[in-house]
Structure 1
Amino acid sequence: MESGVQTRPAFVRVRLSAMMFLEFFVWGGWGVAITGYAATLGFEGRHIGLLGAVPAIGAIVSPLFVGMIADRLFPAQRILCVLHVLGGICLILAGLQASFPGMLVCMMANGLCFMPTIALVNSVAFRHLPDQSKFPRIAVLGSIGWIVAVLCASVFLGGSLKPNFLFQSGVAGILMGIYCLTLPHTPPRGARGDVFGFGALKLLRETNFMVFVACTFLVSLAACGYFFTLQVPMLQQRGYPSPLALTSLNQFAEIIFMFSMPWFVARLGLKRVVAIGMTAWAVRYLCFSRPEFGAALIGLVLHGFCYSFFYVGSYMYFDRRAPVELKTSAQSLVTFLLVGVGMFVGSNAGGLMMEKFRAPAATMAAVHGVDASRDPRPLPPWDDPAAAASAWRYLDLSGTVKSLLYGEEPQAVAPDLGARLDTNRDGRISLSEVAAAPPEGLTFGGHAYSHADLVALVKKLAAAEDGTELPEDAIALTRGAWLRAQSCDWRPIWLWPSFGVMAMLIVFLIAFRQRPSEYVQTPPA
C-alpha cells in the first residue's frame, strides 16, 4: 500500500461530501453576488469586470506556486486549512470596503487563496475515494452547496445589495479551514527537488495527452466564461420571463447529471463522455442562436451535459492519466487551463462580441443620433406584463423560499414604460399616449426622460421597425420593436463559438486515442 494511506479512513465518502459542500458554499456565496454588489456601490463598468474576473485571475496565477507544492512539501489538508482561513479573512475585509481599490485588493487576495483549493479538494477526493468513478456523486454536493449559499444570502442577508454575503462566505471559509484539519491525511508524494511542480508539464511530451489538453483548452475558451458573461444579458434582451430565475435551470441540470455521470463513464469511457460534453456546448449555442423561448430552455437544460461531462470528465481524465507523484499538479494544471485562462479569455471574448454585434439603440444617444458619450442613458425599461404571473418565476428560489417562510407575495416591479404610457393596454404606445404623459417627463431607475425624449424614442424605434415613414397618428411602438432595438445581434454571437467547438470536437474524435485503461468499464454493483 501507499505510504501515508495504509487503510481507508472511516466515513470517507461522508467526509469528502462535506468537504465539497463547504468548498462551493464558500464560492457560491460571493461568486454571483460580487458584481451586483459592485454595481450597487456605483463602481464603473471596467471595475466591475475586473472583480468578475477575480476567480479566473486567481486560477491562472496561484497554481504556479501553491497547487504544485502539495505534491512535494506539505500535506494537502494543511495547505487547504491555511488557504481557506486566509481567504475567509480577506472576504470579511472585502465586506468592510466601500472603494474599488480596497475591494479589488481584498478580492484578489481571496482569489489567490481560494482558487488553488479547487484542485486540492479534487486531489484529496480522488486520493481517498475507494471507487474513483463515484467522484461525480461527491462533486454534486458542491453544486448543492453553491445553491444553498445563494439561497442563504438572498433570503436572509439582503442578497447583493448588502455586503453580508461576503461575511457569510468569509466565516464559512474560516470554518472550512478548520474542517480541513479533520480530513483524511493526504501526504505529499513527490520528490522535494522540483519545488515549483513543473514536472507535470512532462506529460505534454506524449502526443495523446497533448491532444487532449489542446482540445479541451480551446473548447474552454468558448465554454463557461463566455456563457456566464452572456447568458443573463441575452435572456433579458430577448424579453424572456424571469431571466435570473431561468438560470437556476443550470444548477438543477448539473445536479441531475452529476449523479448519473458514473453510469455514463462506466459504460462509455471518458473519451466519449468528454466528447458528449463538447457536443453539448456546440448544440447549446446553436439553440441560443435561435430567438424562440423553447430553444433557450433547451440550451439552459443542456448545462448538465456541458459542465459535468466536459469539466468533471476532464478532471477525471487528468487524475487517471497523471502518475502518482504528480496527481495534484495535474489537477492544478487543468484548473489553470480550463478555469483560469479559459474562463478569463472567454469572459473577455463575450464582452468583445457584445461590442461587435451591439444593439442598434442600446442608449438614448442612438435615439437622438448623437455620440454615445453624450447621452449614455439606457432606454426606459419595458417589462413583460405577464412575468409576474409566469410559472417560470418559481425558479427564483430566493423569492419562493421567502414566500414560504414569510408568506410574502411576489413584489410588484417598479412601473415601466408600458405601465406608464400604454394607457389602453393594447401593447402599443402611440404618440397620443405619450402626449398625455406628465409634462415634466418620467423617471426610471434614477434616469429622467423628458417629454421630448419619449416622443423621439417612439418615433425612432417605430420607424426602424416599420421601415417606412408613417403619419404621426399611425406611429406606435410595440414591446417587440423595443426589444429588438435594445438587443444585440445574438445569432452570430452564439454561432461562431458553436462552429469553433464543433471543429475542436472533430479534431478530438480523430486525433485522441483512448488508452486501454480508459475504455468502457464494467459498472460497479
Structure 2
Amino acid sequence: MKLKVRFQLSSMMFLQYFIWGAWSVTMSTYLGKTLGFSDVQIGMAYGAGAIAAMISPFFMGMIADRFFASERVLFVLHLVGAVFLYLAADATLFDDFYLLLLAYTICYMPTIALTNSISMNQMKDPGKEFPGVRVLGTIGWIAAGWTVGLLNIEHQATTFYIASGVSALMGFYCLLLPHTPPKDKGKKVGIKEVIGWDAISLFKSFSFSVFFIASMLICIPLSFYYNFTNAFLNELGMENAAGNMSWGQVSEILFMLVMPFFFIRLGVKKMLMVGMFAWVARYIMFSYGNIDEGIWMLFVGIVLHGVCYDFFFVTGQIYVDKKAGENVKNAAQGLIAFATYGVGMFIGAYISGQVVEYYKTEGTVPHDWSTIWMVPAMASGIILILFTMLFHEKKKQKEEEPAMAN
C-alpha cells in the first residue's frame, strides 16, 4: 500500500472515531446534569445507537453494496449526520433529542462498516495492513476524550457541536478518499443475503452457539460501562473524567500488540474467559473505588478496558472469521454485530437506565454507585460461570472443535 493511501485511510479512521468519542462518552453527564433527563431516559438515548446498529446491516446490504461508491455514501451520511447532531445539541426536550439522536446514529452506524470496506479494498493483505490503519481510530477516540476533558466541557452541548463540525469535515474529506465502487453492482441480492441467512448454519456447532449467546448476554452488563461511567466519575468528583477514561483506549492499543503472544499461550476459549472475567473485575473495582484512598481502583477499572475489549470482542471476531469460512465470513460477522452491538446493547441500555434510576439517593453523591456496579458485576460473573460450565460439559462429551482448542 502506498504511503499516500495509508495516510488517507489513517486520517479517515482518526476522524471517524473522533466524532463518536466526542459526544458519546460524556452524553450521560450532559443529559443528566444539564438537561435534567432521568436515568431511564439516558439509557433510552444510548439505546438509539443499538437500534441503528440493528438497522445498518440492512442499509449496507440493500444500498451501499449495490448502487453507490462507498466514499460517496460516506460523504452524504456524514454531512446529513452533522446536521442531525447539530440540531440534537439545541434540543432540550427528551422526545426531540431522542428522535434527532436516533436519526443521527442511523446515519453514523453504517459508516463504520463503510470505512472498514474502503480500507480493506486498498490492501493486498488486510490481515497485516488493516490493524496499522484501524489503530488511528482508537487514537482519534483518545484525542476526543482529551479534547473534551482539557476544555472542561463534559456538561455542555459543546461536545455535540464539536462532533457535528468534525462530521461535516469528515464528509468533505471522504471525497478525497480512493474510489471504492459498489461490490455487488448489478447483482441481485435477496433478503437472505441482506440478513446473513447463510450464517445460520453455524449454529449447528455447539461452540459457536455458546459463543453467540454469551456475546449477546455479556453486552447487557457491558452497557453499564459505556452508558454511565462518565456520569459516575463526575459524581465522585474526578477531574478531567473524559480524559482519564481515554486511558482505557490506550490500554486497548497495548493489549492489541501482545494478543499474538496470548493466542499461543492460552488459545481462543481461555482468552474469551479472561475477557469476561475482566468485566467482573472492572465492575468490582468501580463498586469499591472512591476519589480518595480508592482512586487507584477507579484507574484499574478504566485500564482494564484493554483486556475487556481485546480479549473478548477482538478474539471473538477472529474466532468467527476462522469458524465461518470464506463463503459466509461477512454474513457471520454481521450476525454477531447484530446480536452484540444491536440486541445486547439495546437490552442493556434499557436495564442500565432502570437500575441507575432505582438506586438514586438523597446524599452528596446522587446515586448508590457501590450497589449499582455490583449488578453488572454479578451478571457478568453468572455469564462467565455458565460459559465455563458449558464448555467443560462439551469437553467431557469429547466433541471436536479445532477452532476452539487451546
Assess, with a 3 A threshold, how the Cα gap between structure 1 residues 38 and 152 changes in structure 2: closer, same or farther.
same
The Cα offsets for residues 174-213 of structure 1, whole Å up to 9 and x where unpaired, read as 2323333413526425942325734523212222343332
Find 1:228's aligned residue among 226, 229, 233: 226
**Structure 1 gap segments, 5+ residues each:** 1-7, 364-378, 382-482, 521-525
C-alpha separation in 2, matches of 1:489 and 1:334: 31
What SS does the corresponding residue of 1:193 show, helix, strand or coil?
Answer: coil
Q: CA RMSD in A?
A: 3.7
Matched with 1:29 is 22
Partner of 2:142: 147
SS, match of residue 489 in structure 1: helix
Summarize deviations over 1:86-140 as a string: whole Å, max 9, x none. Answer: 2122112323434433332321110111012223333444454424155444332
| More deviation, 175-184/64-73 | 64-73
What secondary structure does 2:91 align onto? Answer: coil
Q: Which has the higher helix share?
A: 2
Q: Which residue of 2 aligns with 1:54?
A: 48
Q: What letter is aligned with 1:79? A: V
SS of aligned partner of 1:44: coil
8 A contact 1:72–1:194 mirrored in 2: no
Question: Secondary structure of 1:65's partner?
Answer: helix
Q: Which residue of 2 aligns with 1:14?
A: 7
Alignment of 1:458-497 (within 5 A): 488-490=370-372, 492-497=374-379
Give the deviation of 1:302 after TM superposition. 1.5
Q: CA deviation at 1:328?
A: 4.9
Cα deviation, 1:53-104, whole Å, max 9, x if unaligned, reads 3222221233333456444444433332322222122112323434433332
Aligned to 1:261: 259
Alignment of 1:290-439 (within 5 A): 290=288, 293=294, 294-322=296-324, 328-354=330-356, 358=359, 362-363=361-362, 379-380=363-364
Counterpart position of 1:202: 198
| 1:256-314: CA deviation from partner (whole Å, max 9, x where unpaired) | 22333355457765555434322322333454455683554433322101012222333
Partner of 1:168: 162
Distance 1:87 1:519, change over 3 A: farther
Of structures 1 and 2, the one with the larger relative CO (CA 8 A, separation 6+) is 2
> Equivalent residue of 1:14, what SS?
helix
How far apart are the structure 2 equivalents of 1:262 and 1:12?
Answer: 27
Structure 1 residues 513 and 355, CA gap change in structure 2 (3 angstroms):
farther
Counterpart AA for 1:147: I
Tell me the TM-score normalised to structure 1 length.
0.63
Q: Which residue matches 1:251?
A: 249
Letter in 2 for 1:255: I
Q: What's the CA shift string for 1:306-343, capped at 9, x where partnerless?
A: 01222233334444555657655444433322222222
Aligned position for 1:80: 74
**Using a 3 Å threshold, how does the CA distance of structure 1 residues 504 and 198 change in structure 2: closer, same or farther?**
farther
Cα distance, 1:132–1:192 mapped onto 2, change above 3 Å: same
- TM-score, scaled relative to structure 2: 0.79
- One-letter code aligned to 2:316: S
- Measured after TM superposition, the shift of residue 236 of structure 1 is 6.5
Residue type matched to 2:22 in 1? G
Residue 503 of structure 1 pairs with residue 385 of structure 2? yes
SS of the equivalent of 2:196 reads helix
Please show how residues 437-448 of structure 1 align to structure 2 within 5 Å. Answer: none
Query: Is contact 1:67-1:120 (8 Å) kept?
Result: no
Aligned match of 2:178 in 174, 177, 183? Answer: 183
Q: Verify the 8 A CA contact 1:91 1:167 in the aligned structure 2.
A: yes
Does the 8 A contact of 1:9 with 1:184 survive in 2?
Answer: no
Residues 96 and 226 of structure 1, relative CA distance in 2, 3 Å threshold? closer
Q: Deviations over 1:437-476 (max 9, x none)?
A: xxxxxxxxxxxxxxxxxxxxxxxxxxxxxxxxxxxxxxxx
1:90 matches 2:89: no
Stretch deviating more after TM superposition (336-345 or 37-46): 37-46
Counterpart amino acid of 2:113?
A
1:236-261 Cα shifts (integer Å, max 9, x gaps): 77x58658365343233223223333
* 1:192 counterpart = 2:191: no
Check whether the contact 1:285–1:495 (CA below 8 A) recurs between aligned residues.
Answer: yes
Give the counterpart of 2:127 among 126, 129, 132: 132
Cα deviation for residue 145 of structure 1 reads 0.6
SS at match of 2:335: helix
Name the CA distance, whole Å, in 2 between partners of 1:241 and 1:42.
Answer: 21
SS at match of 2:221: coil
Q: In the alignment, is the contact (CA less than 8 A) between 2:219 and 2:345 conserved in 1?
A: yes
Kindly name which structure, 1 or 2, has the bigger radius of gyration based on alpha carbons: 1
Unaligned runs of 5+ in 2: none
Q: State the identity %.
A: 31
8 Å contact kept, 1:71–1:329: no
Q: Tell me the alpha carbon deviations over residues 355-409 of structure 1, each in whole angstroms, 9 at most, x when there is no partner.
A: 66x36xx12xxxxxxxxxxxxxxx346xxxxxxxxxxxxxxxxxxxxxxxxxxxx
CA 1:490–1:150: 2 relative to 1, 3 Å? closer
